[in-house]
A and B are shown apart, each in its own frame.
Chain A
């Protein structure tokens, strides 16, 4: 049981390049999330999905796209990278209902450190 995995772990892009970050979970979770983490700003939600084939915008969606074609995978795409997208990106997943009845007890991947020059 690997939990939540993310690939790649590190990436350097030049401004204008595109890339896709892959997140996979083996816990049969319905919900999946993409966050970015910047110093002093905590975790900010980019996009999320409440089930296969559905996605929704979070707090900071501009410049990103996502897809959830399979329940276990959630992809985050950057079509034209900008230096402002330099960050650490975390994927997370959760059951529809957690052990305490709360929907959003999240399990996180190890993160992808992205630098855009």
Chain B
């Protein structure tokens, strides 16, 4: 059983602030995905990271895969209300998801 722990569970910030959320495990993953889910909708894939140490950028979102491929982080620069949602990470090995970080960005 590969558990994915996401932190923090909840995060509420003002528009324009920066933030980082984390996805940690004791297991090694061949790849890891990040999804964003808005209320009443299904999760939408943001990115897949594959190589240890890899950094991927998606506009104001920066994703990093740990060197040992056991953890990942998502950094958002200058957060906007449109970034509000539930951010989920998923390990490739057994299709398990973390419990998510619920982000609220206030105008």
Contact = CB atoms under 8 A, between A and B. Distances in A.
B42 A102 contact: no
B78 interface: no
Contact of A102 (B44, B92, B98): B92
Interface of B: 9, 30-31, 33, 35, 40-45, 48, 50, 88, 90, 92, 95-100
Interface string A71-114: 00000000000000000001010000011111111111111000
Nearest to A58: B95
Contacts of A110: 40-42
Given A43-B88, A100-B31, A102-B31, A107 B95 contact: no
A83 B99 CA distance: 22
A58 B33 CA distance: 19
Nearest to A45: B95
Interface residues of A, number: 28
B31 A111 contact: no
6 contacts: A4-B42, A42-B88, A90-B43, A104-B31, A104-B92, A106-B33
Given A43-B43, A108-B42, A102 B48 contact: yes
Given A41-B99, A102-B33, A92 B50 contact: no
Contacts of A41: 99
A61 to B, nearest CB: 13
Contact of B42 (A101, A105, A111): A111
